[in-house]
Structure 1
Amino acid sequence: MSLRATARIVADAGGGLPLLESDGPLAVRRTRATGPYTRVTVVGAMSAPLGGDRLAIETEVRDGARLLVDSAAATLALPGRGDAPAAYDIRLTVGDRAALRWLPEQLVSARGSDLRMRTTVELAATARLVLREEQILGRHGEETGTLSTRLTVRRAGRPLLDQELAYGPGAPGGWDGGAVLSGHRAVGQLLVVDPEFEAKPVASRPLAENAVLTPLAGPAGLVTAVAADALQLRRVLDEALGALAPA
């Protein structure tokens, strides 16, 4: 039997969490923070998403608030009993002078799974965002499942980024070819949006053998990377995060 679950997080400028609502396999917990950000950790309460599941996390960072959201472990997409794909929607809203650091652990696409993931972000003109996505295509020694992801970001009501990726059986041909993954099984990106980049835009440059920083048409930079495994991918993205958006 498939699941329907939506977790909700609301952070305010005083460091409070007026809404922290868990649902089904998505347990959200306030955890100890060492910096200026209020911290919430997503804890998987059961195996999910399975085929047919419909999961969502809705997060609102109100004006002037600072919120860090991470997760306790990787998310593992698994096959279900039927043929229906699973869906995982992330909806983020960041207000004026607010900041969100969205730093979950990796998403692992297990063999036989089929997951459609959608992340939608609405930013105020003065908002700041750090968003990391990491996908691991298959567990150790196995083929990947089917995974499609879409990241849509709007700033002050205008499009900033709209990107869609697809991997595995059923994805458009060439996804594993030399022009895309070239045999790598870990892929990720780091998006940093900061109004300070308007005065000093980021410069396009390679960051590693298989990673590059690209400025966007707005106060933002996008790091994209592929790697042999999750450890190498995280190392590249952590180095980029330290350079672009130190805590």
Structure 2
Amino acid sequence: MTARPRIIFGEHATQRPAIERLIDHARFDVSFGAFADADFAPFDLVVPLRLEEFAAARAANADRRRAVVPDAALVELCDDKLLFNRRLIELGFGDVVPALLPDDTDAYPFVRKARRGDFGAGIRMVRGPGDDAAVPDGFAQAAVAGADEYVLHLLRIDGAVRYSLCYRYDMGEPLAIRGEAGAAIGIHPADPEPAWATCVAVLDATGFEGTCCFNYKLEDGRPRILELNPRFGGSLVGDVNGYVAAHLAAIG
């Protein structure tokens, strides 16, 4: 590995400028690029920022290890919220999955979710009959009350967690949906302990390798997993130097 490790990140409209601003350029030689056309040979670490970049990043391991990303089947599993919930239940994690409801449910409040989508897209909180509306290719799930939503970033390589970072998002009201339509009123570092064992057990059970972030709430002190994003999450940018250093150490 070179004295100043060479790292290539993928392209992302909001994450790229933040990474460029926060990365320690004296410590890391950083580039950004369209992965489909990239020559990864000169780089020590390849970090995709969007799911479309994963296939090319996997190919970076053809001659030596430069990238650790989840396999395609796991990405598909996590990207389909309904499929992911069902798989968790099959694996014995049903007690941390908010209940899946029939499409015609009147168990208010509940959430209608599109099976795919990022940052709150396609998610609707249904508080009563007047709020309900169809969500294309969607499903119904019990709402988890609580103004606090947590994000736990994890990097798992060779069966071990090599990096973690946790934040608490204060949404201001119990049934808010975090995303473009619902911004947090405060973001705070958080202790992942209440959800740590569960999240790590999920990664172990699925054989997940690479970078991910769990979104969850706590209900009576127990985690309720909302989703697992199998990629570099936006709030990880704030500690990009710590993440990159841990990733390089794990594959070095």
Q: Using structure 1 for the length normalisation, give the TM-score.
A: 0.33
Give the TM-score normalised by the residue count of structure 2: 0.32
Query: Greater relative contact order (Cα 8 A, min sep 6): structure 1 or 2?
Result: 2
Per residue, is there more strand in 1 or in 2?
1
